[in-house]
Amino acid sequence: GLQYSFGLLMIIVMDTFAKEATLIQTVILGTASMSVTFLFAPIIVALSRRKSTRLLSILGGLVAALGCLFTSFASQFHQLYFSYAIILGTGFSLTRSTSSIMVGQYFKKKRELMEIFVISGTGIGMATVPLLVTQAVSSLGWRLGLQAITGMTSLTFILGIFYRPASLY
């Protein structure tokens, strides 16, 4: 949801970094974050086959939260490419890929139904997160607002701790 609501942040980024960034550079920032997320997905799926899916999910939540936090402290536009596009994009790639893998490990018989349920969470996030981002940024300012959103993003780190291998059940 946070990546899909970049249009809200784009206006703020353009106002804050007006001397450094053009419209195209700002649009590329949001696109680069999504591109990193989807580019790393096959690599992360291959890694999760060899390593712990739980560990990668926890790492993804931590990386995504740090990316959001680093973005709030950016003082120059080029720092956003590193913090928002690369770090945040990598963190979201880790969490998104591992959540789909965990559904496949837990549910063998009704996997399709559970996949629908999990993927619908993306739609719910796309509908609610922009409202939360707008509220946080308008009431706290963009830097403190992103720090508040970092708290929300760090929930993926906490939820990753609860992943258990299906072989334990």
| Nearest CA-CA partner of 34 in 63, 67, 2, 66 | 2
Q: What confidence tens digit (pLDDT) does each residue in 28-80 have?
A: 988 999 999 999 999 999 998 888 888 999 999 999 999 999 999 999 999 99
What average pLDDT is seen over the chain? 88
Is residue 153's pLDDT more than 60?
Answer: yes
In the structure, what pLDDT confidence band is assigned to residue 101 with cuts at 50, 70 and 90?
Answer: confident
Instruction: Give the count of beta carbons closer than 10 Å to the beta carbon of residue 139.
Output: 10
Residue 116 tokens read as 């629908």
In the prediction, which pLDDT does 20 show? Answer: 86
| Nearest CA-CA partner of 6 in 150, 130, 92 | 130
Residue 140 near residue 148, CB atoms below 8 Å = yes
Is residue 114's pLDDT more than 90?
Answer: no
Between CA 68 and CA 151 the distance in angstroms is 9
For the chain, the structural domain boundaries read 2-162
Is residue 169's pLDDT more than 60?
Answer: no
CA 167 to chain centre: 28
Residue 153 near residue 61, CB atoms below 8 Å = yes
Residue 16 tokens read as 């804050």
Class of 2-162 per CATH? mainly alpha
Residue 89 near residue 6, CB atoms below 8 Å = no
Report field, pTM of the whole predicted structure over 0.85: yes
In the prediction, which pLDDT does 12 show? Answer: 86
In the prediction, which pLDDT does 64 show? Answer: 94
